[in-house]
Each structure stands twice: as C-alpha cells, then as structure tokens.
C-alpha cells in the first residue's frame, strides 16, 4: 500500500478481482468504528471480505482515458508504437537534469555511507547538504521552488544515491514519491501548493501515515478518525500510525483518517496535511529493521489533533484514490533504486571475478560463476530499460502508466533481490562478511551483505509482491470485467446475468478472433530491430497466448478466479517479463541509433536477457495449468489446523512470552517524543 511500510502475506487474502458496483469517486459504507474511551482511539470496524474489496475497488482509477502499452500485453494487443521509438526527456529537463546529476555525484563522494550504516543515523550535515543541492525538491515544479527534473532524472538521482546510502535514498523517495509533494501536485488546491510545496522543496521533510497496527493492505479496517468540529472549521484526528517512514524527522505529515458520514459530510477515508509539531502528536518509537539502518521510521500517535478544514487534500472519501494515483508514478522510485543495486553488483562481480583465482583460473571463467555474471549483466540492462522507459512515459503524460509502474516495482524488486543473492554467492565467505570486518584485516570493504539486507524490504515496501500481483491482475482483467463482470458475479440475479451475457458475447466475438494470428507469426516482422526482431515476435505471440490463457481461466473458474491467486500471479509475472523484454529491445535500438559501437553491446545484452526471460516465461506458461497449487493449499490448511505440530518439536522458540503478535496499545514505557528528531535544513 501507499507509504513505505511493511505488509505481511497474511494480508493477501483480500483481493480485488471482482468489479465493484461502487460509482467512481464515491465513498463505501463500512461499519463505523466505535470509541473505546482510551486515548480517543476507535476499535477497528468489523469488515467482511466483500466490504474490503469494495473499498479497494472504489479507490482505484475506474477509467482508461489514455493508452497503456502494458495493459495491451495482457489483452493480446502488442502495440509497440506506444513505446517505439524510445521517448526521450524534454530538452529543457535534460539540461537541468544533467547539470544536477554532475553536482549530485560530486556531493555524494563526500557522504560516508559506511558511517550512516554504522551509526544507524543520517548526520545533520547530510540533510543540510541535500537541501542545498535541492534534493528535497527534485520532482517539485520550478514554479513552486523545486528543480522540476521530472521522473526520468529523479529516477537517475535515486539510482546514484542508493549506491552510496540506501538510508538516504529511502529518506528522499519517501518524501517525494509518497510524501506530501506528489499528492499536492496531483490533487492539491493552488493555495495548498503555494503554501507547502516551497517548504518541501527547501527541506521540510514529509511523511505519509496510513498503516496502523491493525491495518496493513486492508484499508477498510482503518481506525484513525477525523471528526469535523461543530462549526465545520476543522477536523479532530485521533489514531495510531505504524511504520511511518520519515515520521521521526518529518516537519509535515500526510495523514489518512476516516471521516464519519453524516448529512453534512460525505465521509470516508480522507487525506490531511498535518504539521508534525502540532499539539497531540507523539513519536513513541524509532523502529529498527533488518536493513536500511539509517531509516527514520517510527510509531506515531495522534490524540485530538486539530487540523484546519483547508488542510484536506481533495474531497472527503478520496484519500485512498489520491494515494493510489500518487503511486502510479511514485512506485518507480523502487525500480530506480534496484537498477542502481544491479549496476553496483555488476561492477563488484566483474572486478572480483577477474581478481579471484581458484583452480588455476579466475573464478569468472568457471561456468557456475559465469552464469551468475551473465544474469546480473543482462538483468541490469533490463532494469535500467524498464526504469528509463517508465520514467519518460510518466513525464510525457500521454500514456496511462499505472500497470507499467506497478510491473516495474514488482519485477525490479524481485530481480534485484536475486542479483544481490548471486553477488553474495560469487563473493563466497567475503560476501557474508561485513564491510567493516573486511576492512579490519586490510581487504576492500565491499558491503555485499548490507545490500542484500537493504534490498529485501523492496519486496514489501509500497505493496508486497503478493499484493502487487493481485492489484495488477485486477487491472489486467479490467476489460473482461467490464464485458462479463455481472456474468461471473455469484451475487448477480438471473436478469442481470442475461443482460451481461449479451454484452459479453459482443465483446468476445470481436476480441477472440484477434488472438488467433498476429505480427509475431510473420517471419519478417520487426526486422528493423535486426537480431532482436525474433524476440519481439515472441513477445507478440506470447501476448496473444497470455490473453487466451486468461480467458480460459475466467471461463473455467468464473467468479472463483479471484481465489486462484497462483494462476493470477503467473499471469502477472508473464506480463512483467514481456514488458521487460520489450523495454530492453527498444532501449537497445535507441542506443544503437546514438552510437553504433555502444549499440552492438546493447544488442548483446538485450538478446541475452530476452533468451533468459523466454525460459522463465515458458516455465510460467506451463505452470498456469501444471502446478501444485491445490495440493499446497490443502496442506497449508492442515498446517493452520494444527495437524502437524509434532513437526515443530525439538526446538526452543525464544520469542514465546515476549508479547502478542499485534499490540493495540502503546507501551507504557514509551516516553513522549523520545525518538523525535527535529531536522531543519536551511537554504540560501
């Protein structure tokens, strides 16, 4: 979900495959929380699966007003013209961007990332240096005091920053990708933009507060409330927020809270701008994690926090929609960071594999290591291709990139984790050893194990991989739901099903014949791509095959498709591979047009990646129908029923007795604001 927070796979039970009947932009009736008399908090409302689905469905963008390349892949419509020729940054942004990147690189060489990792803290002087460079306003438009670099150069900046300090890149991306600037640019009033964006651009750090101890990927259970005052001039917010990245040092907060519905208020989950030092706000804890050890992430409570009505972003009930719209481009931050990790891993793998000699030759010349090096190199090329293409598409604003951005986040986080794991394996014992330990005995301080730890969260941040697959699956089958949603809805009456049958028959009569043959069947198709043409033909053929398989799945399971999460996940992953191959081929051709010599190398990388991807895709296609899903689900049910507890014997669980799985109470020893750190960078 939207902010940098942790989500568990337990939350995956909430799906959004069936189309809701909620009108776009309308609130959804869920049971209102009841005051429990303690700290002004409310008990989480009892929400069933259907209500949770309705809330999620109402929050998504309902219409497709612009073309989408990735959406077409799932419908068997491979429209390469949407991304080829590869779009490029606008000249004015390119000039500003290149100048900024040069200044940024020079500054980053003065930042001690090892110190940040060691101290688990970003020094004040680093905040100041970032502010002086304008890093807090990279994406903020120039007219509001920012640099106006756009998504493309913002991505490039994050790629570079992440290789110096993952904690710093998390700070900046949480501030600009999901913090206050992006929602304001998209949905704020002109007055709000002029009041807050210049502050954000000059270093007023922002944080996004949605997640609660009882609320992860199921926002329908949100218990934080924003009760309008009697005179209507303000809202009074009460709640507890968990995993608030930047919340420990933030000056400005975006808080998601539920407004009760009444005659005067449409109600619903809404977004509010809140000053972090407002009376009633307390930072109780600074959380610590497996990685990102400089992350300023906390536990924050809001008790009778008064917020002017002018601080409402958008309208009441639009909070989740604003958050999801923000993430259309905001999710691209993680792929950018992953691309940087790939580049760094490639450099270390290359240098180490040439220097380390075993069994009479460099380890890189042994096939087992060579295979890993090839995977890292080819996948890094594809990562950068996906990030750059998505970034320019976001800047142009002529395409709907909600699926592209989601696929980029999902695929990049999974691939980067595999790259990091392979690098640790290539480095052997030194890969498992910390950089300070290596340095202590005089060896190069390569933080391979740190990168593995730091990257792991990206498969959870901003929507776990499991949740992302369900969200993408919902978008991928949108055309089917519009055509046949009522037909497969078990709650629909006979008259509704008959009406839907007429609509569906017309849609499929037009659509299905298009999946029989296409350009991928023509031997000379895409010949302008030279040696890469065969891979694009494969993408086109597989796109049509994927669409057919999805249709077969809907026909077979109908309304039960929403519960076939293994099938849906594979459908999504196939589309991700096709998108990455397409982006890689288009990027290689662009590079070749600029420099024939570099183009030759780019073609080699793109071709190798396409071959590797094809093997993964073919395996996924086979597993659509040949898998152990049903067996696994039955076994999991038995495990949860406690039938195999004997298998757990012979261990000591030291976590027993340390506390409940989820606590609703703030610990009594959590001193007020003991963890809050006030950061006030200044700029000339």
Note if 637 is an active site residue.
Answer: no
What DSSP designation does 655 have? T
Is 187 in contact with 193 (CB distance < 8 Å)? no
E strands in 102-193: none
Nearest by Cα to 237 from 209, 216, 264: 209
Helices (H), 333-401: 333-355, 367-396
Tokens of 558: 């109908």
Which residues, including other chains, have CB under 8 Å from residue 51's CB and lie 6 or more apart?
A: 28, 29, 30, 31, 220
Tokens of 506: 């017309």
Torsional sign, CA 242, 246, 250, 255: negative
How far are the Cα atoms of 10, 400, 474, 551 from residue 481, in angstroms, in the given order? 26, 19, 9, 11
Is 276 in contact with 255 (CB distance < 8 Å)? no
Q: Which value, to the nearest 10 degrees, does the dihedral of the CA atoms of residues 529, 530, 534, 538 take? A: 0
Distance CA 498, CA 516 (A): 28
Distance CA 142, CA 197 (A): 10
Q: Which residues of 386-422 are buried (b: 16+ CB within 10 A; e: fewer)?
A: bbbbbbbbbbbeebbbbbbbbbbbbbbbbbbbebbbb
3-state secondary structure of 498: helix
Is 24 in contact with 481 (CB distance < 8 Å)? no
Nearest by Cα to 2 from 137, 163, 180: 180
Q: Which residues of 101-114 are buried (b: 16+ CB within 10 A; e: fewer)?
A: beebeebbeebebb
Is 389 in contact with 68 (CB distance < 8 Å)? no
Q: Which residue has the tokens 């794991």?
A: 421
Distance CA 70, CA 476 (A): 9
Distance CA 264, CA 262 (A): 5
Distance CA 567, CA 546 (A): 12
Is 345 in contact with 375 (CB distance < 8 Å)? no
CA angle 321, 322, 328 (to 5 degrees): 90
Which of 404, 433, 462, 562 is flagged as catalytic? 462
Tokens of 381: 């090329």
> HSE-up of 214 (CA within 13 Å, CB side)?
19
Tokens of 260: 């009760």
Distance CA 254, CA 323 (A): 10
DSSP-assigned letters across all residues of 230-257: TTSSEEEEEEEEEEEETTTT-SEEEEEE
DSSP-assigned letters across all residues of 294-349: T--EEEEEEEEEEEEGGGEESSTT-HHHHHHHHHHHHTTHHHHHHHHHHHHHHHHH
Distance CA 369, CA 364 (A): 5
3-state secondary structure of 283: strand
Q: Which residues of 448-485 are buried (b: 16+ CB within 10 A; e: fewer)?
A: bbbbbbbbbbbbbbbbbbbbbbbbbbbbbbbbbbebbb
Catalytic residues: 462
């Amino acid at each position: 979900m939207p902010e940098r927070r942790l989500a568990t796979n337990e939350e995956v039970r909430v799906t959004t495959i069936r189309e809701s009947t909620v009108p776009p932009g309308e609130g959804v009736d869920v049971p209102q929380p009841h005051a429990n008399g303690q700290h002004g908090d409310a008990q989480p409302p009892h929400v069933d699966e259907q209500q949770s689905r309705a809330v999620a469905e109402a929050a998504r963008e309902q219409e497709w007003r612009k073309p989408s390349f990735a959406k077409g892949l799932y419908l068997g419509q491979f429209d390469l013209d949407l991304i080829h020729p590869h779009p490029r940054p606008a000249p004015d942004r390119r000039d500003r961007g290149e100048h900024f990147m040069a200044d940024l690189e020079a500054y980053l060489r003065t930042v001690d990332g090892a110190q940040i990792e060691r101290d688990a803290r970003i020094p004040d002087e680093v905040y100041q240096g970032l502010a002086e460079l304008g890093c807090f306003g990279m994406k903020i438009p120039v007219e509001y005091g920012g640099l106006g670099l756009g998504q493309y150069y913002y991505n490039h900046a994050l790629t570079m920053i992440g290789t110096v300090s993952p904690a710093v890149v998390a700070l900046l991306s949480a501030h600009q990708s999901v913090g206050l600037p992006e929602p304001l640019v998209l949905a704020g009033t002109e007055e709000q933009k002029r009041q807050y964006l210049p502050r954000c651009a000059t270093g007023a750090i922002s944080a996004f507060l949605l997640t609660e101890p009882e609320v992860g990927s199921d926002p329908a259970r949100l218990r934080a409330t924003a009760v309008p005052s009697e005179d209507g001039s303000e809202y009074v917010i009460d709640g507890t927020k968990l995993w608030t990245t930047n919340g420990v040092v933030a000056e400005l907060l975006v808080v998601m809270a539920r407004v009760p519905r009444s005659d005067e208020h449409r109600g619903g989950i809404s977004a509010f701008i809140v000053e972090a030092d407002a009376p009633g706000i307390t930072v109780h804890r600074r959380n610590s994690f497996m990685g990102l050890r400089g992350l300023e992430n906390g536990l924050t409570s809001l008790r009778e926090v008064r917020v002017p009505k002018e601080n409402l972003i958008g309208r009441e009930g639009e909070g989740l929609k604003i958050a999801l719209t923000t993430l259309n481009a905001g999710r691209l931050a993680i792929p950018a960071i992953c691309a940087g990790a790939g580049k760094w891993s490639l450099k270390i793998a290359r240098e180490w594999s040439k220097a380390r000699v075993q069994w009479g030759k460099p380890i890189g010349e042994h096939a087992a290591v060579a295979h890993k090096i090839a995977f890292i190199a080819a996948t890094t090329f594809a990562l950068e291709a996906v990030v750059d293409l998505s970034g320019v598409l976001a800047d142009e604003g002529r395409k709907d990139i909600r699926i592209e951005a989601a696929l980029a986040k999902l695929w990049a986080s999974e691939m980067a984790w595999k790259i990091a794991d392979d690098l640790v394996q290539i480095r052997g014992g030194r890969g498992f050893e910390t950089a300070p330990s290596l340095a202590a005995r005089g060896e190069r301080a390569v933080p391979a194990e740190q990168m593995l730890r730091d990257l792991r969260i990206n498969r959870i941040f901003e929507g776990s991989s499991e949740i992302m697959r369900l969200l993408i699956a919902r978008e991928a089958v949108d055309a089917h739901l519009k055509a046949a949603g009522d037909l497969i809805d078990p709650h629909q009456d006979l008259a509704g099903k008959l009406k839907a049958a007429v609509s569906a028959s017309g849609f499929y009569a037009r659509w299905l014949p298009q999946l029989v043959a296409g350009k991928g069947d023509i031997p000379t198709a895409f010949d302008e791509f030279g040696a890469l043409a065969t891979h694009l033909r494969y993408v086109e053929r597989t796109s049509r095959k994927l669409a057919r398989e999805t249709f077969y799945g809907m026909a077979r399971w109908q309304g039960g498709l929403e519960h076939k999460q293994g099938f849906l996940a594979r459908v999504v992953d196939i589309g991700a591979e096709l998108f990455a191959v397409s982006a890689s081929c288009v990027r290689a051709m662009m590079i070749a047009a600029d420099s024939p010599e570099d183009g030759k190398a780019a073609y080699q990388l793109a071709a190798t990646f396409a071959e590797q991807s094809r093997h993964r895709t073919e395996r996924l296609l086979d597993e659509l129908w040949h898998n152990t899903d049903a067996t696994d689900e039955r076994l999991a049910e038995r495990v949860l029923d406690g039938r195999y507890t004997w298998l757990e014997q012979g261990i000591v669980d030291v976590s027993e007795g340390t506390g409940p799985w989820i606590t609703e109470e703030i610990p009594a020893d959590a001193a007020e604001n003991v963890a809050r750190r006030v950061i006030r960078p200044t700029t000339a």
